[in-house]
Structure 1
Amino acid sequence: MKTSIATVSLSGDLREKLSAIAAADFDGVEIFENDFLAFDGSPRDVGAMVRDHGLEITLFQPFRDFEGLPEPQRARAFERARHKFELMNQLGTDLMLVCSNVLPTSLGGIDRAAADFNALGDIAKEHGVRVGYEALAWGRHVNDHRDAWEIVRRADHSKVGLILDSFHTLSRGIQLDTIRSIPGDRIFIVQLADASMMSMDLLYWSRHFRCMPGEGDLDVVGFMSAVAATGYRGPLSLEIFNDQFRGGSSRSIAVDGRRSLVNLMDRVRRIEPENAIAVTKMPDRIAIVGIEFVEFASFGDEATELEGVLASLGFVKTSLHVHRDVAFWRQPEGGAINLVVNRCSEGFAHSSYLVHGTNAYAIGLRVADASDALERARVLGAETFHETRGAGELSIPAIRGVGGGIIYFIDDALTAIWSLEFNQVEVPVSFGAGLTKVDHLAQSMNYDELLTWLLFYISIFRTTKSAIVDVVDPSGLVRSQVVESDGFRLTMNGAENSRTLAGKFIAENFGSAIQHLAFKSENIFESARRMADLGFKPLQIPENYYNDLQARFGLDDGLLSQLRESNILYDREGEGEFFQFYSHTFAEGFFFEIVERRGGYNGYGGTNAPVRIAAQKRALRPKGVPKLV
């Protein structure tokens, strides 16, 4: 598989873009004309710089408004083409993109356009180059790859071929099977982009909201399956117009791009293995069985405070690590929640504490095969993690995740860690709070990281994604997206400013991280009662909220009284009901949530978020008051 990316997809000047593209291990680059025009060197300098980075120029683009013009505009278009071909010779590339005409003066007619391209092919042959014709989704006369292919077919010239772009085809809902009949050798390059479904002008949608394959809602897998069936084996190139990417890290976006292409073609290979373009072999996307553990890094008085909060949630310390200052916490009546508090004064956990303060720096994901999970993540560019282990300690496969945190992979064999590395301690007779499992965890990040981490999760793990929703914070919007599977729920919250609760957490915590854990209860009212007996202080919800609940849902007085008494929030979708209450925030914005789901409710109580966030912000340390250390 030969990979390429257009310079328009990244931020920075041409030098910065090429450096990022090479570092991400792409094979080639499309030179977008604007990037070339802004460069302070000759065409030969650009070509040499590309080759010095170990890249080739897969395409020079775009050449606009060529076919179907009346005279004298037609003659002028051919003169422009000659100039571009000479430029391409100096750059060292042999392919130019010609996009379908959008000028109101252009004339229709497939035969007229084919004649123009036949004549253009003769000129291209003189210069030793080729031209590829692309149907823009908003082209005046040609906006469908079927028409573009018919023009190329009738032009009947070896130097004239077709360029396919997934956005232009998928945004117009064109049948993908129509691609399969196109000869693969007549397709000169394939450009790829995804996008979230939006109802807007095609040009505006294309120029501002494209994203990497897998990050949006378009059927890019189906598109590439059809392309692979033609026998095409040329470059797969990303052409991404996205305002967020233009202001982001070129290195990060380039890495995302390479990951998206590898993941895409792995998906295609599994659907149609006989047609698939060659891609690095790797295990299939990994199913997450559940969250095996969550580990906190803490120290000193902050660790004592954390353990006090855990005790108020009904957790007890059941065992201690044989070599390290690490404790294991569970609900005394069982359940599947394993929490680890790491108080070590050295090692990665302590480094995480020194940078971020008390934080949930690591999660262990239960998978069928930990080695397979690590291998897929590695092939897709994830950074592996290894820490020196002592005698008798297990080496657990791991990668770096959001904010530099750690994701461990635990399979059946590796669950032996709890018996091999921990010694049980005497547990006082006590009762828990009836918490049974981790319902979901939430990670907060800057909004411009949201698509990066979405792609990270959906490419490595067998998960699905929800549409992005807006969570209203009194100080701004937070964009939230859910990634989930049967055994795993994750909400990712992208903060656009530091005044929101999520934004403040990121600022105070010095980076993206897990901001809250939600535990499942089978009887939330009983859990609230037990936790109150253990000294838990719930987040206080205003009376106005409960008055509105009664008006919205017609709840009976008894249920409403129970909700109010325990500061429990409520939501309903169809026959499903959702109950939730929260701890106060600590450790610069971290908090716990207790939830109960009834009747197949699958959401997260999003309508309650503004009330919850306002209550949490009232309880935060006032602005300007320094943190006590």
Structure 2
Amino acid sequence: MKIAYDPTPLHHTHRLLDFPAVTADLGFDHLQLTPHPDFATHFRYPKMDRALIRRFGQAVDAAGITVPALLPVQRIAWPDEGKRVAAVKNFRRVIEIAIDLGVTTINTEFSGRPESFEDSEESFYRSMDELLPIVEKEGLRLNFDPHPDDFVEDGHEAWRVLRGLDSEAIGFVYVASHTFHYGDCLDTLAEELGDRLRAVYISDAFDHRASHGLRYIANPPTTSARVHQHLKVGDADVDFDALFGVLNATGFLAREDSLLVSNVFGENENNDAVSRFQKQRIDELISAQAGPTG
């Protein structure tokens, strides 16, 4: 299992080529590359050329870390056909970048619309008709997070959508701070996913369903906005002891190909201390599953 750093807090203050050294300095051996303007900004065509790919690879080697996964976000399930076609074009380029970097895993989102479930699902399968043969041919793994405000948010329903692709290349990303939007269903979901649960992002969030749905008050009352956080472990409502217990019981923590990602966005001004804290807490949560020693 690998523990990776999500460098999103660095996006507005650091160059892409600085990420590997900062990652190593923060105590992480691995980096999941997220949508930085020099890599692949949300929904736009990736901007890395061969020279930048080479320089980034050199920076990774110099820092003594690895990049086990890329995280692009493209509208591959968007109900508008023009945007879907553009997203597939952009995603093809992400795949090329992954291959050039020697990265074999791409973690992403569905990126459809909840008010257009059927059209978004159809768009998703249409996009996968084009992308999945490339993913399989190149020996890549493509894993999905059913993100809040996507066409599918419930964990079990998302797995049904993915299962419909009938491909070993496809897996699931479980984001701890999305727990309550998934339906708080990790116990049953992890058992169903088995080794197709390939990445877990570690950050905390409050349960928006608490206080009879009044945990957050948004105006106008009919708004469909989804609210969640990406806080450091222990700041909110996610039960991390239970989460790591499930990950241990299902074998996730023992697998060489599984990935944990520290995924805190809410405290950029304290990123150094927060990131070091995250690494320490993740290590402690893993160690706790091994039981007492002596």
Q: TM-score, normalised on structure 1?
A: 0.38
Question: Residue 179 of structure 2: SS of its match in structure 1?
Answer: helix
Q: CA deviation at 1:131?
A: 1.3
Where in structure 2 are the equivalents of 1:35-434 lying within 5 Å? 36-37=38-39, 42-67=52-77, 69=79, 71-103=81-113, 107-108=117-118, 112=122, 113-114=124-125, 116-117=127-128, 119-139=130-150, 141-171=151-181, 173-196=183-206, 199-200=215-216, 205-206=227-228, 209-232=229-252, 233=255, 234-242=258-266, 244=267, 246-250=268-272, 252-270=273-291
SS at structure 2 position matched to 1:167? helix
SS state at 1:97 partner: strand
Is the partner of 2:192 in helix, strand or coil?
coil
> In structure 2, do the counterparts of structure 1 residues 267 and 181 end up closer, same or farther at CA, with 3 Å as the change threshold?
same
**Alignment partner, residue 5 of structure 1:** 5
- Asked whether the 8 Å contact 2:147–2:153 carries over to 1, the reply is yes
1: CA distance, partners of 2:8 / 2:243: 22
Question: Hey, what does 2:211 align to over in structure 1?
Answer: none
Query: What letter matches 2:276 in structure 1?
Result: V
Q: Give 1:77's aligned amino acid.
A: A
CA distance in 1, matches of 2:225, 2:248: 27
Shift of 1:205: 4.2
Render the CA deviation track for 1:294-349: whole Å, top value 9, x for unaligned.
Answer: xxxxxxxxxxxxxxxxxxxxxxxxxxxxxxxxxxxxxxxxxxxxxxxxxxxxxxxx
Give the aligned residue type for 1:187.
Answer: L
Deviations 1:273-307 (A, max 9, x none): xxxxxxxx879xxxxxxxxxxxxxxxxxxxxxxxx
The higher-RCO structure (CA 8 Å, 6+ apart) is 2
Q: Deviations over 1:180-201 (max 9, x none)?
A: 3234321221111113456337
- Structure (1/2) with the larger strand percentage: 1
RMSD over aligned CA atoms reads: 3.2
Unaligned 5+ runs, structure 1: 271-280, 284-629
Identity %: 20
TM-score, normalization by structure 2: 0.77
Deviation at 1:214, TM superposition (A): 2.6
Supply the distance in 1 between the matched residues of 2:38 and 2:285 (Cα, whole angstroms).
29
Contact 1:4 1:30 (8 Å CA) reproduced: yes
> Which residue does the alignment assign to 1:597?
none
CA separation of 1:249 and 1:81: change in aligned 2, threshold 3 A: closer
Instruction: Answer yes or no: is the 8 Å Cα contact 1:117–1:152 preserved in 2.
Output: no
Summarize deviations over 1:94-147 as a string: whole Å, max 9, x none: 2222212244785527973456435422121234422111101221x2012212
Secondary structure of the residue aligned to 2:87 is helix
Task: Please name the residue that 1:29 is paired with.
Answer: 31
How many residues are matched?
267
Structure 1 or 2: larger helix share? 2
Once residues 78 and 86 of structure 2 are traced to their aligned partners in structure 1, the CA distance between those partners, rounded to angstroms, is: 12
* CA shift for structure 1 position 30: 0.9
> Within 1, Cα distance between the matches of 2:198 and 2:32?
13
**SS where residue 59 of structure 1 aligns?**
strand
Deviation at 1:10, TM superposition (A): 4.6
Structure 2 alignment gaps of length 5 or more: 42-46, 209-214, 219-223
Deviation at 1:43, TM superposition (A): 1.9
Counterpart of 1:54, as a letter, is G
Q: Secondary structure at the match of 2:173?
A: strand
| Contact 2:110 2:147 survives alignment (8 Å) | yes
